[in-house]
Structure formats: C-alpha cells, structure tokens
Amino acid sequence: ATAIQRLDYRAPTYWIATVDLTFDLDPAKTLITSKMAVKRNSAQAHGPLVLVGEELTLLRCLIDGEPVSFRQEGNDLVIDAPDRDFELTLRNTCAPEKNTALSGLYTSGGSFFTQCEAEGFRRITYFLDRPDVMAVYTVTLRADAAKYPVLLSNGNLLEQGTLDGGKHFAKWHDPFPKPSYLFAVVAGDLVAREQRITTRSGKDHLLQVYVRRGDLDKTEHAMNSLIASIVWDEKRFNLPLDLERFMVVGVSDFNMGAMENKGLNIFNTSALLCSPATATDADFQRVEAIVAHEYFHNWTGNRVTCRDWFQLSLKEGLTVFRDREFSMDMAGSASARAVQRIQQVRNLRAIQFPEDAGTMAHPVRPDSYVEINNFYTATVYEKGAEVVGLYQTLLGRDGFAKGMALYFERHDGQAVTCDDFAQAMADANPGSPLSSRLDAFKRWYSQPGTPHVAAQGEYDAEGHTYTLRLSQRNAKGPLPQVIPVRMGLVGPEGQALPLQLQGEIAARGTDTVLILEEAAQAFTFVNVMVPPVPSLLRGFSAPVLLEDGLSDPQLLTLLRFDADAFNRWEAGQRLSLKRLLRAARSGQPLQLDNAYVEAMRAVLRHADLDPAFKAEALKLPDAAYIAEQLEVVDPQAIHAAVEAAWDQLAAALRDDWAWAFDAHQVTGGYSPNAVDAGKRALANLALAMLVRGAVAQGDPVWPGRAYQRVKTASNMTERFGALAALVNAHAELAEPALVHFHALFADDALVIDKWFMLQARTPERGGAVFERAKKLLQHPDFTLKNPNRARSLLVQLCNMNPGAFHRSDAAGYVLWAEQVAAIDAINPQLAGRLARAMDRWSTLAEPYRTAAQEALKRLAERSTLSNDVREIVTKALG
C-alpha cells in the first residue's frame, strides 16, 4: 500500500446530496440498497464516478433506473456517469457476523452495530467515503422483530411498523448533512434508560442510553454525565443540543472508547457502564469524560467536520480540550483542577512524548499516512489538545470563546482544516499575541517532536535584577515554536515576588506568561530584592521538556511554597526523577537520601494539601517518562531503580503510611466526587506501601488487612486497591485474593478485564509476572476477539509493563510478534495498537536492542500483514 499525502488533497469530482439506505438485516448476509442523488462538482472536470467498497458483493448498479456499465478495480467501483446530475441505485451484501475487524457493520452479542470512522462505511456499501462529502441520510431498517426489537439510526424516527414473516421496520431521517463516518445503525435486544430535558432555549429533548438487559443499573452515571455535558456546553460555549433525540448505545466489542455518530453515539461498554460495586473512581471519571467528549463532538466534529483525515486533530484535539475543561469544571476546587492537570501531563509524558521521539513520530496534523487508523494517536489527541490550550493561554478565556464563536459562524455545516480554525482564532482577536505571530504559531501543527526548553537564571544582587535566559531546540523540527511560558519567581522564604520586566512601568503581578518564540531569548526582571527560584512552565503551559537545572534546595523550595500547585507537584517529580536517573545511568543500587525522604514525609503529613494532590505528589514518575530522559535505555535498570525507591519509601515512611491509611477512610455511601475519590486514592496508595513494606519484613498484618478488604469492601475502588496492593507486592495472599475476586465477578466482563489488567501490569519480580501473563493467554476467559480483553492482557504487558516485557532472553518480543500476527488476522486496528510496543526499540541497550530488531524483522517478513501493522513495523525498522 502506498502512502497518502496531505498535499495531494483534491476536492471530489462528484457530491452526494442525499442517500436513501435500506437494510435487510441478517447476520450472515445483510442486503443493502442505496439510492443516491449524485451531483457533479462544477469546479472539477469529471470522468467516471469512482466509489469505494470493501468486502462487499455488488448485485445491482442503476443510473436513473437503468442498468449502466461499470467495472470493479480492486476496491474501486468505476461507473460510467452521464454528463448531468443523476440518481444512482446500488444493491450489495455484506457479512456482519464474519466481520471480526469491528469496522463497518458487525454483530456483537447477537445485536448489530456499526463503526464507520474512519473508513468503515465502505464496508457497508459503495460510496464516496471521505469526510468532505456530506449527505442527508434516510435509513430504513428491516429485521426479525423478536431478535431485534430495537432498530436505531441517526436523527429522527419517521415511521415504524410490522412486516410479514415476523419482521418489523423503522425509518429514520437525519436532517443534518454529514460525512459517512458519522453514519450509524444499531439493531438488537436492548433496553434504555430515558430522560426528558428542557434546555435553556426552551426546547424539549429525549435522552436515551441503550444497553443490554441487565446493565440498566449501570447507566445512571452516564446519563448524569450527558445532562451535565449538555448544560455545560450551552453555558460555556453557547452551543445547544440541536437534536430532538440524543441516543447513546453500549457495545462490548468495540475498537475505540466511543464514537460520536450524529445523534447516535456508540460506546464501548468500558466507557459507559459503571456502578460503585464494579467501577473505580477512575472509571467514573473516565465515563464522565468520554460521554462529554462524544457529546461535544456534536459541534466540534459533526456540525463542523474535517475536510480530510490529515485534519483529524481539528476535531479531536479541540474536543479533548473541551472535555478536559468540562472535567475540570466538574471537579470543582482549584486543587482538584490541578490534580486533573497533573494526570493529563503524566499521561502525555508517558505516552505522547515517547511517540513524538519514536519511529511513529508525526505532527499534530500529519503529512502522510498509509493507514489512517494508525493516526488516532496521543499526538493527534493529547498533544492536539495541548495546542488548543495554547490558544486559550495566549488569548485568555474570553478571547478563546470569541474565536470559537467566529469558527462556528464561518464554518457551520462545512468540512474544514486546522488552518481554518487557527485563522478564526486569530481573526476574532485582532491585536492579540496570536494574530501577530500566527504563521510561527502554526508550526505546532507542522513540526513533530517535543521541543526542549533550556532555562538559565542569573541574579544581580547589586542591581536587583534577575535575567532569565530561555532557549529552545527540537530534534525533529528546525524552526522555533511559539511557547507560552507561564511563570513566577519564588523568594527563599516562599514569597511570590512581583514580576516587573525591564522596560515595563509596573509589575505584572506575581504570575505571568512569557512568550518564547526565538531560538534564544532573555527576559530581565527588575526590582528583584532577593535571589529568586524561577517557577517555570506553570500549569504545564506548553507541551515541552524543560531543563532548568534547578538544584535540590531550589526544588525543595518550590515543593514547599510554589503558589502553582502543578509546579509544586512537578518539583517533587523532579526530585524523584533526578535520583532515579542517577541510579538508572550508573547501574548502582538506588539509595534515597534523607532530605528527599523528609520532603516526601512533609508532603504526606502536610496539614493543608488535599489528599488527591498528595497521592499524585507521592507517586514516582512513570518508567516510560524516565526512559525518555536517557540516551540509552536499560529497562531493567529503570525498573530496579523504581522498585528500590518504592521499597525505601515504604520502609522509611511506614508510620506515616499507617496514619494516612487510617486518616483517609471514607464513611457513608459511595460517591465518586473528587473529595471522596481523593481520600480513597491516598488510602489506596498508603495500603499499597504498607503491604509492600510488610511483605519485605515478613509481617502478616497488613497483607491480612488487605485480603480482608478484598473480601468485604463495599465499592470497587477500595476492593481493587486492596487486590492491587497484594498483587503488586507479590504477597502470598495475592493468589487467594485473585481467586476470590474472579469468583465474585465471573459474570462481569469489565471487571474481569481489570483482573487480567492487574496481573499483566504487576511490577516484575524474577520473571514471574511474564510467566503468569503468558499462562493467562490460555485462560478460558481470554480471547483475542474482544478488544477490551486482548488489550487488558497484551497491551498492558507489552506496551505498559517494560520491566516484564524487556527480557534478556527475548521471550517478551517473541510473544509480542506471535500475538501481533494472531490479532492481525482478526482485527488489524487492534493489532496496530499492540505493534506500537516496539516504537522505541532503537534506544534500547543491548541485548534488548538487537533482540527487538530481530523480532520486528521476523514480523515484517510475514506476507500477510495488514496495512495497519505493515506501516508500523516498516516505520519502526526505518
């Protein structure tokens, strides 16, 4: 397969104005009739009409009711078209129950579902399957009434009724023109939670959450999240719900988290269902965020969509930014917002930074791709959201809102580009720091790589000035980028110092944004009466790697005093990172020093810090982020350093952990609110430390308490926390606890996923974790066919557990290659995800490097690989 280039974009030669689809649903062979109003694009010369279809059987092709000559070339259907607008009628079949790729129309648990983004519609019928072709859809579904009592498609229900032979039908019409990737059908034996609401404008709407019978009691949180999202988007961005009916459907076989089909969102059950007994606080938060994300797409994605797939971040970066803003508003307090920011950055550093440095690195707006499914990445989503955040940092909240308003005023109903978004933001804010440097700003879309920002400060005690020199470099992009550096200066006693730049007549307060846009710049502050500690990149104001060379005493000052909670956390992370890197580089055993341990104790015992913040501040940096700081990566050296650090923190703070555990028990009924969740997070961390310390000492008390909690906890957060404490510490009671837990939840697939996930992600000790994971491949509950299950074991092991995966005997790589190939035969998109485990192979130390390369080569030699996996292994081998 050849790469598709962004600059090759051409408008289509034909448009499809309306499409009338009829489905005769049958799992083995579904019949689809499609009637399309085809219009010539007057701006283009047109030859034949070329539609695309995959794994379809074509039965009929008529133009204005008459047979017409056509030919099939690969996946292309080439039709001799007359020189006028016409009606095209096609009839074809597809085989939903054989569709294990879960793209197009497929069956899951006896019901029908679709997934059309990015290119699934072509697996349903022949079409101009590209996002700039927007049509008005009318859809008739016909199916067995007993097996498929619920028949859903986008938009409004026009008509329904019974048919002969035990069948029934439903006819849907979506008044909004949409690209084919937003088309959806659901048919099955489902039940719905319903809620009627009246929005601010006085319009009534029906909200429905459809799930399998038996799951209805797990939909309340999703419904509440949906209502909150609707209210929030109206209030914050003036964007109302535009449909009479908004439907959400859960399905347990699904490649993504969820899908924003117009009026008919389809969700992976893992992103929809939760109850206190089966879902953790993190699950509740994730469901809220994804429900919001898909709902927000209704404007950012559906009303204004992407011209082509290179613009994916136009909708995804923006919609992630929006769901983050929503989640922060829902979390409430400043501290809870900071905790969310910390979690976002932790995730960015663990996943997006390695991606941006690795063999799959690409700009937020890629320039080419072989398989678009491979570009639903952390770069397009999370870095894309960071870039949207940069607009808000440069323009302020009101300026950003003005830009959004202009974007919709200009582009509602259109398929547009990232340039159009940037232009609307700039034009709505003339004279702003964005409009004067828009071209340079847009390098965030065109250059891959994480910029490194170096900072160096110089205090002049006599002149009372402080000069901050900032410079930037990006190994993957030659041009300087526009980097807003939010900052402050902290005095030795923790005072927030006034910030007056040389040449300015007054101080800017104690927190400001500097714009770094040249390769190197200096900023001089005047009237600085004491030697300051610079607090840079507050709130993580840009997605860069900062090297400020701060000493331990300076970091300890920030950890104690910084007014910015994010940078307080960051100072602690930096203290940890320094120590972990020193050990990983030298190969010497890690020995934590007293100053560090006391600083951590002070955080844990702090009178004012919130428990949720403490839990984040006491967690060590992720192995993947540590690896990114090293030129040559020995995963086992990193693993050993991290484990030693945990062991020492467990031992040195034992009494403090015991206090923290007891002091943060939540009484009363379960609620996933941020305050209670924060207490549970800290108690769970404390319990993990206590069990770890006890196992090292041979002390049975805390493992016993944890085991008891696995048996008696009244919510999943506490139960799973206790189970994880035992498993991660390799306690003897881990085994019976796992057995007990499995028996309790044997019928709940989402909980069993957690059970697999925990075992696949346990910190390795002597190879036992890898051996266990390998054995779990044979477990009767394991299957490669369900993406959640496959991910919970294999992606967790290969992509998320470096200590277990990277082995000197190469067994991890051998298993990886086998499993990628096995999954590829079933579901290429999922296989592509697992294939990414080798992105950073070339930085590995020996013997890992050579062994990883060999595994990649062996996989690349297979003749049957999908485009998805082929693209990834080819790029990996470079």
Asked if 258 is part of the footprint of ligand DPP (rule: CB under 6 A), the reply reads yes
Nearer to ligand DPP, 258 or 424 (CB): 258
What stretch of H or E contains 651?
Answer: helix 635-652
Q: Which stretch binds ligand DPP (CB under 6 A): 257-265, 583-591, 641-649, 746-754?
A: 257-265
Q: Give the N- to C-terminal CA distance of the chain in Å, as an integer.
A: 16
In whole angstroms, how close is the CB of 258 to Zn ion at the nearest point?
A: 8
Fill in the per-residue mask, 299 to 328: x = in contact with ligand DPP (CB under 6 A), - = not in contact.
Answer: -----------------x------------
Q: What SS3 state is found at 370?
A: coil
215 vs 316, which CB is nearer to Zn ion? Answer: 316
Per the CB < 8 A criterion, the answer to whether 30 and 392 are in contact is: no
Q: Which two tokens stand for residue 498?
A: 């006034």
Give the one entry of Zn ion, ligand DPP, none that residue 123 binds, where binding means its C-beta sits below a cut-off of 5 to 8 angstroms depending on kind. none
* 549: alpha, beta or left? (left if phi > 0; alpha if psi -120 to 50): left
| Choice from 256, 501, 581, 713 touching ligand DPP (CB under 6 A) | 256
Regarding 260 and contact with ligand DPP (CB under 6 A), the answer is yes
Q: Which does 259 bind (CB under 5 to 8 A by kind): Zn ion, ligand DPP, none?
A: ligand DPP
Spot the catalytic one: 54, 260, 294, 628: 294
Say if strands 167-179 and 134-144 run parallel, antiparallel, or are unpaired.
antiparallel
The two tokens of residue 320 are 């992630």
d(C-alpha 831, C-alpha 828), whole Å: 5
Size of the site for Zn ion (CB under 5 A): 2
Partners of residue 134 on adjacent β-strands: 179
Asked if 562 is part of the footprint of ligand DPP (rule: CB under 6 A), the reply reads no
| Cβ nearer to Zn ion, comparing 316 with 628 | 316
Q: In DSSP terms, which residues pair with 458 in a beta bridge? A: 467
The answer to whether 633 and 359 have CB atoms below 8 angstroms apart is no
258 contact choice in ligand DPP, Zn ion, none (CB below 5 to 8 Å, kind-dependent): ligand DPP
Query: Which of 38, 232, 17, 22 lies closest to 135 in space, CA to CA?
Result: 17
Q: Which of residues 300-359 bind Zn ion (CB under 5 A)?
A: 316, 319
| CA gap 294, 788 in Å, rounded | 19
Q: How many C-beta atoms lie closer than 10 Å to residue 458's C-beta? A: 11
Q: Does 294 bind ligand DPP (CB under 6 A)?
A: yes
Whether 294 sits among the annotated catalytic residues: the reply is: yes
Q: How far is the CB of 791 from ligand DPP (least distance, A)?
A: 16
Return the one option of ligand DPP, Zn ion, none that residue 152 interacts with (CB less than 5 to 8 A, by type). none
b/e code 387-420 from CB counts within 10 Å (16+ = b):
bbbbbbbbbeeebbbbbbebbbebbeeebbbbeb
Least distance in Å: CB of 417 to Zn ion? 17
If the CB atoms of residues 120 and 572 are measured against Zn ion, the closer one turns out to be 120
From CA 577, how far away is CA 613, in angstroms rounded? 18
The answer to whether 517 contacts ligand DPP (rule: CB under 6 A) is no
For residue 407, the minimal CB distance to Zn ion (Å) is 17
> What is the amino acid identity at position 789?
R
**CA atoms in the 13 A half-sphere facing the CB of 61:** 18
User: Total residues at the site for ligand DPP (CB under 6 A)?
Assistant: 9
What is the secondary structure of 227-294 as a DSSP string?
A: HHHHHHHHHHH------SEEEEEEESS-SSSEE--TTEEEEEGGGT---TTT--HHHHHHHHHHHHHH
By beta carbon distance, the residue nearest ligand DPP is 259
Is residue 253 involved in binding ligand DPP (CB under 6 A)? Answer: no
| Closest distance to ligand DPP from the beta carbon of 117 (Å) | 5
Residues 112-131 that bind ligand DPP (CB under 6 A): 117
Rounded to a whole number of angstroms, the CA Rg of the chain reads 28
Token pair, residue 790, equals 């496959």
- 824 makes contact with ligand DPP (CB under 6 A): no
DSSP 446: H
**Is 20 or 129 the residue whose CB approaches ligand DPP more closely?**
129
- Segment lying near ligand DPP (by CB under 6 A), choices 122-130, 254-262, 383-391, 451-459: 254-262
CB of residue 259 to ligand DPP, shortest distance in Å: 4
CB of 835 to ligand DPP, least distance (A): 20
Q: Which of these ranges, 289-297, 478-486, 735-743, 866-874, lies near ligand DPP under the rule CB under 6 A?
A: 289-297
Of 376 and 741, nearer to Zn ion (C-beta) is: 376
Closest to Zn ion by CB, 241 vs 583, is 241
Looking at the annotation, which residues are catalytic?
294
* Interface ranges with ligand DPP (CB under 6 A): 117, 256, 258-260, 293-294, 297, 316
* Interface ranges with Zn ion (CB under 5 A): 316, 319
